[in-house]
Structure 1
């Protein structure tokens, strides 16, 4: 498998603004229609409430220039990945499932766009955040509203080194240091680790295992600005693929915003007939 170098091909940035909110509503053409609608609403209040909620959700997606993705299926009761409390940590590039779902992971934390938090509140798309301390320490609080939406925070080192180029002792400092800070700031010890640039070796597995996370998470696709880069030769999404994105802003996205990049990612997922599920819902934490 080709390793990601962090210098992937870039695409022409999105221009213009994201589409404005589409108005939802209407008016009846006669009093009879209004009476009929009122009677139906009275007869089925739960149905009317559901319709109204659906209209609100659709309007929120339209606000970002998008059409709603299907709700993800119920995650399997028998998790396809079961992690052990001891022993060698596995490396995950995808999760085995026959469901038409993919998993979005967002790395680093340099860009802290309030609009992205607003977007996540509106769309309720699950993401997994792999946060690096150098990037997030100017504003740890930015990520708490994203965490409050149910999104998990995972380990991505203190300083973002290429792990395979540094000795075991340094690797342990990077993983254990980030583990300690993330646990303190966000109240939960990370279960997963992502190596910067995707670079790891056997010492990385040792360091990760000794510092707390129980799996290394890689990816099969990486989001650029308008499109994804694919590891697979068919350049298609597959069931259970893990997608890499980053907290990036206009300076790194050639003028595009974080929300524009993320909207493009959702479009690419939708075009291929997939929806987004939560990575951690398909992973069983160690028991005991």
Structure 2
């Protein structure tokens, strides 16, 4: 039997009330999640991935050379987004990965085999929750001290290892210590690397270190931190993530996933 006009009005009112109730319940759940991790509120939601990755041109924050993958300190964008990256792989803290997933904080890992190989399962789980696992060489050696063939071995062997362990051959490579030569870029290109992201900020559990004079975040900045624990830090990886989330939010930024932009 079709609804009368009063019946339609009541149905629309009930539907609207249900929508409001669902929204309120979602807000309460989000607040509970934030407080469980020691935050006042959830970080702003990450934007949808761009349909087309930003074009990289020679500019501050981007270095280009023919036949070489671009070296990127800052992704070209006007959006107030930043990119969290986590290096090495020594500390495999399940609370960190759970916290990032529950808060909706995307990040990209750059993993060195000698630190990760005891438990690649941890990094497979990161990949399963949407956090890309990228190349940081086999042995974490300073590329400046190696010849071309040694560098190529460090990079290409880790490409093969990550493809075996994670199921995806990385497109991104970060040289240990952020140090590289032209041979590094040439070797990386031969291994299928498409971009070399570096960074403008480094995060710790108790502070952020900036390369800019204004000591502020800028659109497209890449933030470096590490898989480390209390043996090397005055805090845990969850302390670290709390610090970064608070710092990024206080400056009006949100997180995006680096692999979606490079």
Q: Answer whether TM exceeds 0.5 for this pair.
A: yes
Distance 1:163 1:265 in 2: 29
> Does structure 1 conserve the Cα–Cα contact (< 8 Å) formed by 2:46 and 2:105?
no
1:68 aligns with 2:47: no
Q: Which runs of 5+ in 1 are unaligned?
A: 1-38, 284-288
Helix, strand or coil at the partner of 2:212: coil
TM-score normalised to structure 1 length: 0.79
Distance 1:40 1:59 in 2: 28
Following superposition, the deviation at residue 202 of structure 1 comes to: 0.4
1:177 aligns with 2:157: yes
Following superposition, the deviation at residue 75 of structure 1 comes to: 3.9
Following superposition, the deviation at residue 171 of structure 1 comes to: 0.4
Q: What pairs with 1:144-155 in structure 2 (closer than 5 Å)?
A: 144-155=124-135
Q: What pairs with 1:208-219 in structure 2 (closer than 5 Å)?
A: 208-219=188-199
> Does structure 2 conserve the Cα–Cα contact (< 8 Å) formed by 1:194 and 1:218?
yes
> 1:243 — aligned with what?
223
Following superposition, the deviation at residue 191 of structure 1 comes to: 0.4
Q: What pairs with 1:237-276 in structure 2 (closer than 5 Å)?
A: 237-254=217-234, 256-276=235-255
> Does structure 1 conserve the Cα–Cα contact (< 8 Å) formed by 2:67 and 2:186?
no
> 1:56 — aligned with what?
29
Distance 2:125 2:14 in 1: 35
TM-score normalised to structure 2 length: 0.87
> Does structure 1 conserve the Cα–Cα contact (< 8 Å) formed by 2:199 and 2:221?
yes
> 2:3 — aligned with what?
none
* Equivalent position to 1:78, from 11, 32, 52: 52
Distance 1:76 1:137 in 2: 33
Alignment length (residue pairs): 243
Q: Which runs of 5+ in 2 are unaligned?
A: 1-11, 58-63
Q: Deviations over 1:43-82 (max 9, x none)?
A: 5434422332232122111111112111133344332146
Following superposition, the deviation at residue 201 of structure 1 comes to: 0.5
